[in-house]
Amino acid sequence: MIKHAKNLISLSLACLILWSSIVAKPVQAKPLVVASDEWCPYVCDNAHLPGFLVEIVTEIAAKNSFKVRFSLTPLARALDLTEKGKIDIVLGLTPQHISNFQLQKSHLSFGGLYNDFYVRASDPWRFKSITDLEIALKNNAILGTINGYEYGDNIGNLLKDNTAHIFSASGNSPLQKQLRMLRLGRLDILLDSRFTVQYQLSKLLQKSSQLKTSSMTEPAIVYAGTEGGFIPLFLGFSPLLSKEYVQLFDIGLTNLRENGRLNRILAKYGVIDWHQQSVTLQDKQSSLLMEG
């Protein structure tokens, strides 16, 4: 009887230890599927420089002993699949995206953007107010956007009222497509973020320099104004994914920022920490919660 009792106690203790280890960290049967369209320098189709968000997510996963698998997927499709639980994480989402598709959201921001406008250098149009854009569209200007992206209420309402003058690109590399169309005169105005547009333009300039070809034959693209301020971006998690993953990524980002590794990753892409541009109230509150 005593021997059996001891065996039962040992078995119970072993079960308790096993259960505790399961609760402490989510068990992973297969790699987490992480998706985004190509949006350099956030997410790039480049094995050596895959994008700073890809590097951040990869390092956090490695530190926590789980694996991730990246998939270049058009954003609209990625959001739909994540809502259904077929994709685990989508990169670079606005709060509006996350709310619309009922996803879980990282507490900390993972990057950010501006609603910036670009035109050909020969075009005198500039954005100073939403009225300027409204008048341009009424005068038959074609505005380039990206399918699935959210631009806030002001621009969003205008897009809905002027669908005949909006070209919304899709696919894995929509911004590159829009830049080509702008240069060819198939678009009059491009709406995207300065970080991605300037990165793509610098790459095109570098490529033409390496090929020793002149870019003078192609119309130059110039900045034409900004609507609103800095918009923080977040990771969107499938509603079926364990909430513990959300916390692991928030804590992981905080650690990368504190040990200097984040700045080293960003430097490779010529980007500074978005925290220096706009520290959101939500970030401050989340940091206090994690410190407490």
pLDDT for position 73: 95
CATH superfamily, region 29-111+233-291: Periplasmic binding protein-like II (3.40.190.10)
Q: How many residues does the chain have?
A: 292
Q: Are 262 and 229 in contact (CB under 8 A)?
A: no
**pLDDT greater at residue 69 or residue 12:** 69
Output phi, psi for 152, to 5 deg. Answer: 90, 170
pLDDT for position 275: 83
Q: Are 133 and 155 in contact (CB under 8 A)?
A: yes
Name the residue ranges covered by the structural domains of the chain. Answer: 29-111+233-291, 114-230
Rounded mean pLDDT of 212-239? 85
Task: Check pLDDT > 50 for residue 253.
Answer: yes
pTM of the model: 0.78
Task: Check pLDDT > 80 for residue 60.
Answer: yes
User: Which residue stretches of the chain are H helix?
Assistant: 2-24, 52-63, 75-83, 95-100, 130-138, 152-161, 174-183, 194-210, 243-258, 261-267, 281-291
Rounded mean pLDDT of 172-191? 94
Rounded mean pLDDT of 275-285? 51
DSSP three-state, residue 146: strand
For the 114-230 domain, the top CATH level (class) is alpha beta
Give 283's pLDDT tier (boundaries 50, 70, 90): very low
d(CA 191, CA 146): 8
Task: Check pLDDT > 90 for residue 76.
Answer: yes
Pair of tokens at residue 76? 């609209």
pLDDT for position 110: 97
Count how many Cα atoms sit within 13 Å of the Cα of residue 187 in the half-sphere of its side chain.
25
Q: Does 114-230 match 29-111+233-291 at the fold level? A: yes
Rounded mean pLDDT of 178-192? 96
Task: Check pLDDT > 60 for residue 25.
Answer: no
pLDDT for position 4: 45
pLDDT for position 163: 96
